[in-house]
């Protein structure tokens, strides 16, 4: 299927999605979100892909939901059309998704980065939830995920003042895992994703599910869930291969990719 607002390619076992509405700083309109979720579903179903990277341009990962598309919506449009619910499909992707963020990640752009499993930032990245300046508040997880990731103090600061966080603060606050120079961003993201894609895919998916469970449940339930998943891994060929390879001092050759 040809896409108009994203570029979709495969680099070895990594599915790469580049948001591509440069004139609107990758503002996330319904067409782009429809294409993005379709591409994610296609990669999820593709046995040749083990990990997914979402990136934007050097100037903008995404400068938010498309304000021009939203501005004249009525409450009935938003409610009856169940505005934003389709974004949940990003988090329903079972393979890991890495966000490689350069430039602006604002509003829905910051929320999209937070829906990914790992976010890495270029030194010029700027994260923010400026919805308050538009007379609204974050609507795609910003008040929830940001608060869980960076804590109440910084989340309130960002959501209520609309200020931006630079890459260094984002790393210090736990919003991103690494910061690299802009020209190293894509290579770093592809190399991290390539490494993940070389592991056993079912084990990677179970590990992703287990970490995400930490945000959904209590510590006791989460550790019980983790233990059950861990025990189930002894039913896989890849556990046998991984441990056997360690003992035999060789590189494992996982069956399930
Ligand atoms: N929506 C639509 N168009 C946009 C957006 C946007 N979010 N951001 C930038 N653009 C457009 C501009 O209108 C401009 O278009 P044109 O050339 O036709 O005038 C073009 O992109 C370039 O933008 P600027 O000229 O403004 O570029 P600057 O470098 O001067 O400024 C900024 C860059 C600071 C990023 C500035 O563009 C800006 O402040 N953008 C808006 C940021 C914002 O408020 N984002 C939050 C949007 S609301 C939101 O995300 C709600 C989330 C709710 C849930 C998710 C919804 C789907």
Whole-number Cα distances in Å, 195 to 3, 31, 57, 142, 198 = 27, 31, 23, 29, 5
Judge whether 255 lies within some domain: no
Same domain, 66 and 167: yes
Predicted TM-score (pTM) of the model is 0.96
Q: Where are the alpha helices (DSSP H) in the chain?
A: 30-44, 67-70, 75-80, 88-91, 108-115, 142-150, 152-161, 167-173, 185-197, 201-213, 219-232, 237-247
Give the separation between CA 129 and CA 131, rounded to whole angstroms.
6
Same domain, 34 and 105: yes
| 124 CB burial (10 A radius; 0-12, 13-18, 19+) | middle
pLDDT of residue 257: 83
Our mutation pick for probing the ligand 1 site, out of 67, 103, 135, counting the most ligand atoms within 8 A of Cβ, is: 67
Same domain, 212 and 85: no
**Ligand 1 pocket, Cβ-based, cut-off 6 angstroms:** 24-25, 27-28, 63-68, 84, 104, 106-108, 111, 130-131, 134, 138-140
CATH value at residue 191? 3.90.226.10
- Smallest CA separation from ligand 1 atom 12, residue: 24
CATH value at residue 215? 1.10.12.10
Same domain, 182 and 244: no
Same domain, 17 and 121: yes
Q: Which residue numbers are catalytic? A: 65, 108, 111, 131
pLDDT of residue 255: 93
Q: What is the pLDDT along the chain (257 residues), one digit of tens a residue?
A: 689 999 999 999 999 999 999 999 999 999 999 999 999 999 999 999 999 999 999 999 999 999 999 999 999 999 998 888 888 899 999 999 999 999 999 999 999 999 999 999 999 999 999 999 999 999 999 999 999 999 999 999 999 999 999 999 999 999 999 999 999 999 999 999 999 999 999 999 999 999 999 999 999 999 999 999 999 999 999 999 999 999 999 999 999 88
The alpha carbon torsion through 119, 124, 127, 128 (nearest 10 deg) reads: -170
Judge whether 181 lies within some domain: yes
What domain count does the chain have? 2
Same domain, 18 and 137: yes
Same domain, 163 and 239: no
What is the number of the ligand 1 atom nearest to the C-alpha of 33?
57
Judge whether 244 lies within some domain: yes
Same domain, 104 and 65: yes
Our mutation pick for probing the ligand 1 site, out of 24, 85, 141, counting the most ligand atoms within 8 A of Cβ, is: 24
Buried b (16+ CB within 10 A) or exposed e, 166-203: ebeebbebebbeebbeeeebbebbbebbbebbbbbbbb
Final residue belonging to a domain, choices 181, 197, 213: 197
Same domain, 180 and 211: no
- Smallest CA separation from ligand 1 atom 1, residue: 66
Same domain, 117 and 220: no
Final residue belonging to a domain, choices 160, 181, 197: 197
Judge whether 28 lies within some domain: yes
Judge whether 256 lies within some domain: no
Judge whether 213 lies within some domain: yes
Same domain, 62 and 78: yes
Residue 242 is part of which domain span? 200-248
What is the number of the ligand 1 atom nearest to the C-alpha of 67?
1
Judge whether 1 lies within some domain: no
Same domain, 231 and 185: no
Give the ipTM of the model, two decimals please. Answer: 0.95
- Smallest CA separation from ligand 1 atom 14, residue: 24
pLDDT of residue 1: 65
Judge whether 257 lies within some domain: no
């Amino acid at each position: 299927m040809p896409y108009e607002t994203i570029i979709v390619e495969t680099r070895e076992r990594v599915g790469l999605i580049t948001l591509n509405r440069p004139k609107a700083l990758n503002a996330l309109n319904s067409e782009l979100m429809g294409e993005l979720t379709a591409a994610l579903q296609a990669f999820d179903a593709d046995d040749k892909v083990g990990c997914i990277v979402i990136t934007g341009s050097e100037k903008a990962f995404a400068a938010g939901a498309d304000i021009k598309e939203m501005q004249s919506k009525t409450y009935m449009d938003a409610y009856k059309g169940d505005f934003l619910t389709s974004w949940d499909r990003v988090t329903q992707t079972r393979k890991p998704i890495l966000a490689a963020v350069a430039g602006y990640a604002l509003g829905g752009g910051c929320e999209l980065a937070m829906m990914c499993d790992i976010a890495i930032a270029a030194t010029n990245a700027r994260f923010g939830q400026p919805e308050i300046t538009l007379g609204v508040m974050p609507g795609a997880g910003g008040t929830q995920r940001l608060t869980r990731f960076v804590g109440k103090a910084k989340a309130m600061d960002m959501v209520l003042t609309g200020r931006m966080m630079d890459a260094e603060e984002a790393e210090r606050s736990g919003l991103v895992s690494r910061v690299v120079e802009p020209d190293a961003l894509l290579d770093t993201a592809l190399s991290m994703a390539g490494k993940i894609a070389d592991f056993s895919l079912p084990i990677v998916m179970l590990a992703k599910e287990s970490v995400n469970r930490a945000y959904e449940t209590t510590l006791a339930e989460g550790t019980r869930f983790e233990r059950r998943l861990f025990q189930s891994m002894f039913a896989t060929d890849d556990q046998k291969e991984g441990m056997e390879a360690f003992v035999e001092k060789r590189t494992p050759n996982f069956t399930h990719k």
